[in-house]
Amino acid sequence: MNPDLAKLKPYPFQRLRALLHGLTPPADCTPINLSIGEPKHPTPAFIRQALVDHLDGLSGYPATHGMDELRLAIAHWLEKRYALPHINPQTQVLPVLGSREALFAFAQVIVDRTRQPVVISPNPFYQIYEGAALLAGAEPYYVNTTAEHGFRMDLSQVPPQVLARTQLVYVCSPGNPTGKVMHLDDWRVLFELSDRHDFVIAADECYSEIYFDEANPPLGALEAAHRLGRRDFVNLVVFGSLSKRSNVPGMRSGFVAGDAELLEKFLLYRTYHGCAMSPTIQHASAVAWRDEAHVAENRRLYRAKFEDFRAIVGDVLSLTMPDAAFYYWVRTPIADTVFAQGLYRDYNVTVLPGTFLAREAHGANPGAGFVRIALVASETECREAAERIRAFVKAL
């Protein structure tokens, strides 16, 4: 048995189930789950139809490299979305089965376990980063992102001896759970450190299309590299997904793009890994990447829910509007785990304690005292949840 498996921590939702076990919420309150970041908006009809129209794709084995049509659709989307010059769909784009699978697999390709490797992650974080590091034989190093520092991932706090051993840095922008978007100066510092210490950057951008100002979309990693004169995207790979953008989490469809040399090695790994995307899913994915109208409508729905939630809850809880993504990262007036228990017990609303999304690092758990509220349910349910949260907080 792989001994590194023993290093894996329970997943946040497993811990949440244990936290709420034995509690009986009121029967007259229908359950509302705002703990998991699973989109609940309907899948657009034209994507569903594209799946139906290409069911014959189920009859053959897919190629790991993916179809030309899909790679070209992704490359064109990247060029348009981030004002990039030509993206080579053959060498700089690779379809993957959702960003989660690829984020994990990527560390297995990059990390050289013979050199006391370190993998840096934000803290709080998406737990896949940690698991990927541990199973690649690396030591995770957590960079606390706190309210006091604007939830920035400040690598200046990383000791030089740790940076010297660093082989991979995971960044998430827009961030989960804080919704923080990295600015150009943040990227400049990160690229300079990557050049100095020769580590690879894995930029998780699965929330890039959930934002609130149509005139100001979040800066992307490839866009930042281009604006800073890094034409070949050296040591930089970004991970994108249709799950949040197009409300198709069940399709498990995403992409990896960036450094062509890294993608060549990643493709080699994936050829053996056996994770090629079905042609049926590829056809529907290409259709989704080529349409923006449904994405703008998706943002409109989230914008309305954030505004409603803030109007209802804003006078009893301190709410900071995220830069992007669909989470409120909310400071709690009592311990975050006690808050989550009480809200579930008294009002049948489930939220995720911030403690479960972070690790104790550098003398603190930066998730403590926060809960993550995912506004993924319908407008009606989110409004009802807000009313219940308001009543719960007022009764404290």
pLDDT in tens, 191-219: 999 999 999 999 999 999 999 999 999 99
For 374, the 3-state DSSP assignment is strand
Rounded Cα distance between 239 and 259, Å, is: 12
For 115-128, what is the mean pLDDT? 97
Quickly tell me which residue has 């920035």 as its tokens. 152
| Percent of the chain with pLDDT strictly greater than 90 | 98
- The tens digit of pLDDT for each residue in 222-275 reads 999 999 999 889 999 999 999 999 999 999 999 999 999 999 999 999 999 989
pLDDT digits (tens, 9 = 90+) for 353-363: 999 999 999 99
DSSP string, 141-189: EEEE--GGGTT---GGGS-HHHHTTEEEEEEESS-TTT-----HHHHHH
At residue 182, the pLDDT reads 98
Q: Give the pLDDT mean for 156-174.
A: 97
Domain with CATH 3.90.1150.10 in the chain: 3-42+294-395
Q: Tell me the whole-structure pTM to 2 decimals.
A: 0.97
| CA 230 – CA 236 distance, rounded (Å) | 10
Beta strands 370-374 and 352-353 are: antiparallel
Q: Is pLDDT of 117 > 90?
A: yes
pLDDT value at residue 231:
83
Residue 93's DSSP bridge partners are 257
DSSP 238-298: EEEESHHHHT-GGG--EEEEE-HHHHHHHHHHHHHHT-PPPHHHHHHHHHHHT--HHHHHH
pLDDT at 23 over 90: yes
pLDDT tens-digit map of 62-94 = 999 999 999 999 999 999 999 999 999 999 999
Radius of gyration of the chain (CA): 21
Residue 78: count other Cβ atoms within 10 Å of its Cβ: 24
pLDDT at 81: 98
Nearest CA-CA partner of 376 in 53, 30, 61, 32: 32
d(CA 233, CA 276): 25
Give me the mean pLDDT over the 167-171 stretch. Answer: 98
Question: Which fold, 45-291?
Answer: Aspartate Aminotransferase; domain 2 (3.40.640)
User: Distance between CA atoms of 134 and 20, rounded to whole angstroms?
Assistant: 28
* Predicted confidence (pLDDT) at residue 374 exceeds the cutoff of 90: yes
Q: How far apart are CA 206 and CA 306, in angstroms?
A: 19
Q: What is the DSSP string of 20-51?
A: HTT----TTS--EE-SS----SPPPHHHHHHH
Q: Is the distance from CB of 172 to CB of 122 less than 8 angstroms?
A: yes
Q: Whole-angstrom Cα distance, residue 175 to residue 390?
A: 26
105-135: b (≥16 Cβ within 10 Å) or e: bbbebbbeeeeebbbbbbbbbbbbbbbbbbb
Asked if residue 210 lies in contact with residue 248, where contact means CB atoms within 8 angstroms, the answer is: no
Topology at the third CATH level for domain 3-42+294-395 = Aspartate Aminotransferase, domain 1 (3.90.1150)
User: Mean pLDDT over all residues of the chain?
Assistant: 97
pLDDT at residue 384 tops 90: yes
Amino acid at position 16, single letter? L
pLDDT (0 to 100) of residue 205 = 98
- pLDDT tens digits for range 277-331: 999 999 999 999 999 999 999 999 999 999 999 999 999 999 999 999 999 999 9
371 sits in which H/E element: strand 370-374
What is the predicted pLDDT for the residue at 49?
Answer: 98
Query: What is residue 329's predicted lDDT score, i.e. its pLDDT?
Result: 98
- What is the pLDDT averaged over residues 96-121? 97
∠ CA 251-257-260, nearest 5°, is: 140
Tokens of 115: 């050199």
- Predicted pLDDT at 339: 98
Outline which parts of the chain fall under CATH 3.40.640.10.
45-291
- According to DSSP, residue 114 is labeled G
Segment (H or E) for 78: helix 68-82
User: For the segment 331-346, what is each residue's pLDDT rounded down to a tens digit?
Assistant: 999 999 999 999 999 9
